[in-house]
A and B are shown apart, each in its own frame.
Chain A
Protein backbone atom coordinates (compact mmCIF):
# COMPACT_ATOMS: atom_id res chain seq x y z
CA UNK A 1 0.00 0.00 0.00
CA UNK A 2 1.22 3.50 -0.86
CA UNK A 3 -0.58 5.06 2.16
CA UNK A 4 -0.51 8.87 2.03
CA UNK A 5 1.36 10.34 -0.94
CA UNK A 6 2.41 13.98 -1.10
CA UNK A 7 3.89 15.84 -4.05
CA UNK A 8 6.15 17.66 -4.55
CA UNK A 9 8.78 16.89 -1.90
CA UNK A 10 10.49 20.26 -2.33
CA UNK A 11 9.31 23.55 -3.79
CA UNK A 12 10.70 27.07 -4.02
CA UNK A 13 8.32 29.94 -4.79
CA UNK A 14 8.62 33.66 -5.18
CA UNK A 15 6.41 35.94 -3.12
CA UNK A 16 3.01 36.28 -4.76
CA UNK A 17 3.13 33.04 -6.72
CA UNK A 18 0.42 30.44 -6.33
CA UNK A 19 0.73 26.68 -6.18
CA UNK A 20 -1.05 23.51 -5.11
CA UNK A 21 0.36 20.85 -2.82
CA UNK A 22 -1.05 17.47 -3.72
CA UNK A 23 -2.16 14.78 -1.26
CA UNK A 24 -3.65 11.40 -2.08
CA UNK A 25 -4.45 8.38 0.08
CA UNK A 26 -5.39 4.87 -0.99
CA UNK A 27 -6.82 3.62 2.30
CA UNK A 28 -10.40 4.85 1.74
CA UNK A 29 -10.06 7.16 4.74
CA UNK A 30 -12.89 9.59 5.42
CA UNK A 31 -10.81 12.13 7.32
CA UNK A 32 -7.93 14.09 5.77
CA UNK A 33 -5.98 17.06 7.07
CA UNK A 34 -3.11 19.43 6.40
CA UNK A 35 -0.55 20.51 8.99
CA UNK A 36 2.41 22.82 8.85
CA UNK A 37 5.53 22.16 10.93
CA UNK A 38 7.65 25.04 12.13
CA UNK A 39 10.65 24.92 14.51
CA UNK A 40 9.63 25.22 18.15
CA UNK A 41 5.92 25.22 17.31
CA UNK A 42 5.19 21.59 16.58
CA UNK A 43 2.48 20.85 14.04
CA UNK A 44 -0.42 23.22 13.52
CA UNK A 45 -3.64 22.26 11.77
CA UNK A 46 -4.42 24.27 8.62
CA UNK A 47 -7.58 22.66 7.21
CA UNK A 48 -9.32 19.34 7.53
CA UNK A 49 -12.06 17.34 5.84
CA UNK A 50 -14.38 14.70 7.29
CA UNK A 51 -15.54 13.46 3.89
CA UNK A 52 -15.90 14.33 0.22
CA UNK A 53 -17.47 17.75 -0.20
CA UNK A 54 -16.89 18.76 3.45
CA UNK A 55 -14.01 20.93 4.65
CA UNK A 56 -13.35 23.07 7.71
CA UNK A 57 -10.72 25.42 9.05
CA UNK A 58 -8.08 24.47 11.56
CA UNK A 59 -5.84 26.62 13.70
CA UNK A 60 -3.97 28.53 10.93
CA UNK A 61 -6.15 28.63 7.78
CA UNK A 62 -5.35 32.12 6.45
CA UNK A 63 -3.67 32.14 3.05
CA UNK A 64 -4.68 28.55 2.23
CA UNK A 65 -7.61 26.97 0.41
CA UNK A 66 -8.72 23.36 0.23
CA UNK A 67 -11.36 21.29 -1.52
CA UNK A 68 -12.37 17.63 -1.31
CA UNK A 69 -14.03 16.45 -4.48
CA UNK A 70 -13.09 12.78 -3.98
CA UNK A 71 -12.37 10.57 -0.98
CA UNK A 72 -8.80 10.01 -2.18
CA UNK A 73 -7.54 13.56 -2.82
CA UNK A 74 -7.16 16.64 -0.63
CA UNK A 75 -5.09 19.37 -2.34
CA UNK A 76 -3.85 22.46 -0.48
CA UNK A 77 -3.70 25.70 -2.44
CA UNK A 78 -1.54 28.70 -1.66
CA UNK A 79 -3.22 31.62 -3.36
CA UNK A 80 -0.45 34.22 -3.07
CA UNK A 81 2.64 32.85 -1.36
CA UNK A 82 4.29 34.85 1.42
CA UNK A 83 7.63 34.27 3.19
CA UNK A 84 5.65 33.45 6.38
CA UNK A 85 4.41 30.33 4.58
CA UNK A 86 7.91 28.87 4.40
CA UNK A 87 7.45 25.61 6.28
CA UNK A 88 7.22 21.85 6.03
CA UNK A 89 3.71 20.72 5.15
CA UNK A 90 2.25 17.35 6.09
CA UNK A 91 -0.91 15.71 4.88
CA UNK A 92 -2.49 13.17 7.22
CA UNK A 93 -5.51 10.90 7.09
CA UNK A 94 -7.45 8.59 9.37
CA UNK A 95 -10.23 6.09 8.82
CA UNK A 96 -13.03 8.05 10.51
CA UNK A 97 -14.38 9.11 13.85
CA UNK A 98 -14.29 7.36 17.18
CA UNK A 99 -11.53 6.06 19.42
CA UNK A 100 -10.83 3.07 17.17
CA UNK A 101 -10.02 5.40 14.25
CA UNK A 102 -7.89 8.01 16.00
CA UNK A 103 -4.56 6.94 14.47
CA UNK A 104 -3.29 9.46 11.92
CA UNK A 105 -1.29 8.31 8.89
CA UNK A 106 1.14 10.93 7.62
CA UNK A 107 2.69 11.62 4.27
CA UNK A 108 6.43 12.24 4.00
CA UNK A 109 6.04 16.01 3.77
CA UNK A 110 6.62 18.91 1.39
CA UNK A 111 9.37 21.39 2.18
CA UNK A 112 8.29 24.80 0.87
CA UNK A 113 10.46 27.92 0.69
CA UNK A 114 8.99 31.29 -0.26
CA UNK A 115 11.55 33.90 -1.25
Chain B
Protein backbone atom coordinates (compact mmCIF):
# COMPACT_ATOMS: atom_id res chain seq x y z
CA UNK B 1 0.00 0.00 0.00
CA UNK B 2 0.88 3.65 -0.05
CA UNK B 3 3.46 4.74 2.50
CA UNK B 4 5.69 7.58 3.60
CA UNK B 5 9.24 7.49 4.92
CA UNK B 6 10.78 10.52 6.58
CA UNK B 7 14.17 11.15 8.08
CA UNK B 8 14.61 10.17 11.68
CA UNK B 9 15.28 12.73 14.34
CA UNK B 10 15.73 14.30 16.59
CA UNK B 11 17.11 17.35 14.87
CA UNK B 12 18.64 20.15 16.95
CA UNK B 13 19.47 23.48 15.36
CA UNK B 14 20.51 26.97 16.34
CA UNK B 15 18.26 29.92 15.60
CA UNK B 16 18.57 31.21 12.00
CA UNK B 17 19.96 27.89 10.77
CA UNK B 18 18.67 26.14 7.61
CA UNK B 19 16.29 23.24 8.15
CA UNK B 20 15.68 20.31 5.82
CA UNK B 21 13.55 17.28 6.64
CA UNK B 22 13.58 14.56 4.00
CA UNK B 23 10.42 12.74 2.99
CA UNK B 24 9.93 10.09 0.31
CA UNK B 25 6.78 8.27 -0.62
CA UNK B 26 5.52 5.12 -2.29
CA UNK B 27 2.18 5.28 -4.07
CA UNK B 28 0.42 3.54 -6.92
CA UNK B 29 -1.52 6.61 -7.99
CA UNK B 30 -1.05 10.36 -7.75
CA UNK B 31 -1.65 11.27 -4.14
CA UNK B 32 -1.69 14.70 -2.56
CA UNK B 33 1.24 15.30 -0.20
CA UNK B 34 1.21 17.16 3.09
CA UNK B 35 3.33 18.40 5.95
CA UNK B 36 1.62 18.56 9.32
CA UNK B 37 3.14 20.11 12.45
CA UNK B 38 2.50 19.23 16.08
CA UNK B 39 3.45 21.76 18.74
CA UNK B 40 3.97 20.50 22.31
CA UNK B 41 0.73 19.36 23.93
CA UNK B 42 -1.38 20.01 20.85
CA UNK B 43 -2.96 18.12 17.99
CA UNK B 44 -1.57 18.18 14.47
CA UNK B 45 -2.25 21.09 12.15
CA UNK B 46 -1.72 21.40 8.45
CA UNK B 47 1.46 23.28 7.54
CA UNK B 48 1.39 22.99 3.74
CA UNK B 49 0.26 20.76 0.90
CA UNK B 50 0.82 20.01 -2.77
CA UNK B 51 -1.64 18.21 -4.99
CA UNK B 52 0.33 17.39 -8.16
CA UNK B 53 3.83 16.99 -9.52
CA UNK B 54 6.03 20.12 -9.44
CA UNK B 55 3.59 21.94 -7.14
CA UNK B 56 5.26 23.89 -4.34
CA UNK B 57 3.49 24.25 -1.04
CA UNK B 58 4.52 27.08 1.27
CA UNK B 59 3.49 28.54 4.61
CA UNK B 60 5.17 30.40 7.50
CA UNK B 61 8.51 30.38 5.64
CA UNK B 62 8.42 26.62 5.06
CA UNK B 63 8.45 25.17 1.55
CA UNK B 64 8.18 21.74 -0.05
CA UNK B 65 8.06 20.71 -3.72
CA UNK B 66 6.26 17.63 -5.03
CA UNK B 67 8.92 15.73 -6.99
CA UNK B 68 7.41 12.84 -8.91
CA UNK B 69 10.71 11.78 -10.48
CA UNK B 70 12.34 11.25 -7.08
CA UNK B 71 9.07 10.51 -5.19
CA UNK B 72 10.02 13.12 -2.63
CA UNK B 73 8.49 16.03 -0.73
CA UNK B 74 11.30 17.49 1.39
CA UNK B 75 10.49 20.26 3.86
CA UNK B 76 12.79 23.30 4.02
CA UNK B 77 13.04 26.55 5.91
CA UNK B 78 15.81 29.06 5.40
CA UNK B 79 16.03 30.54 8.89
CA UNK B 80 14.40 28.76 11.79
CA UNK B 81 13.16 30.32 15.02
CA UNK B 82 12.74 28.91 18.51
CA UNK B 83 8.99 28.90 17.88
CA UNK B 84 9.53 26.32 15.08
CA UNK B 85 10.38 23.66 17.67
CA UNK B 86 7.82 20.93 17.05
CA UNK B 87 7.27 17.49 15.56
CA UNK B 88 6.86 17.49 11.78
CA UNK B 89 4.95 14.78 9.91
CA UNK B 90 4.99 14.06 6.21
CA UNK B 91 1.77 12.50 4.90
CA UNK B 92 0.01 11.42 1.73
CA UNK B 93 -3.66 11.16 0.91
CA UNK B 94 -5.14 8.08 -0.66
CA UNK B 95 -8.83 8.81 -1.06
CA UNK B 96 -10.19 8.72 2.51
CA UNK B 97 -7.01 7.61 4.22
CA UNK B 98 -4.10 9.79 5.22
CA UNK B 99 -0.83 7.88 5.74
CA UNK B 100 1.73 9.53 8.02
CA UNK B 101 5.45 9.21 8.38
CA UNK B 102 6.97 8.52 11.80
CA UNK B 103 7.53 12.20 12.57
CA UNK B 104 10.71 14.23 13.03
CA UNK B 105 11.27 16.14 16.26
CA UNK B 106 12.94 19.51 15.69
CA UNK B 107 14.39 21.58 18.51
CA UNK B 108 15.66 25.09 17.83
CA UNK B 109 17.96 26.65 20.41
CA UNK B 110 18.34 30.40 20.93
Q: Chain A residues in contact with chain B, CB under 8 A?
A: 4, 31, 33, 35, 40-45, 48, 50, 56, 58, 90, 92, 97, 99, 102-104, 106-109
A109 to chain B: closest residue by CB: B43
User: CB distance B89 to A43 under 8 Å?
Assistant: yes
Do most interface residues of chain A lie in helix, strand or loop, or is the interface mixed?
Answer: strand
Residues of chain A within 8 A of B51, CB atoms compared: 99, 102
Residues on the A chain within 8 Å of B41, using CB: 108
Q: Which residues of B contact A (CB under 8 A)?
A: 4, 32, 34, 36, 41-46, 49, 51, 89, 93, 95-103
Interface contact tally, CB-CB below 8 A: 52
Q: Which residues of B contact A102 (CB under 8 A)?
A: 32, 34, 49, 51, 93
- B42 touching A108, Cβ below 8 Å: yes
Tell me whether A40 and B96 are in contact in the complex, defined as CB-CB below 8 angstroms, given that A103-B49, A104-B46, A106-B44 are known contacts: no
Least Cβ–Cβ distance between B3 and chain A, in angstroms = 10
The 4 A-B pairs of least Cβ separation, nearest first, read A106-B43, A42-B100, A43-B100, A42-B102
Q: Answer whether A107 and B43 are a contact pair too, CB < 8 Å, given A42-B89, A42-B103.
A: yes
**A31-B96, A56-B96 given. 17 additional CB < 8 A pairs?**
A35-B100, A40-B102, A41-B102, A42-B103, A43-B89, A45-B98, A90-B43, A92-B43, A92-B44, A97-B95, A102-B34, A103-B46, A103-B49, A104-B46, A104-B98, A106-B45, A108-B41
With contacts A106-B43, A108-B43 known, is A42 near B101, CB below 8 A? yes
Residues from chain A with Cβ under 8 Å of B46 in the complex: 103-104
Taking CB atoms, residues of chain A closer than 8 Å to B98 are 33, 45, 104
CA distance A106 to B36 in the complex (A): 11
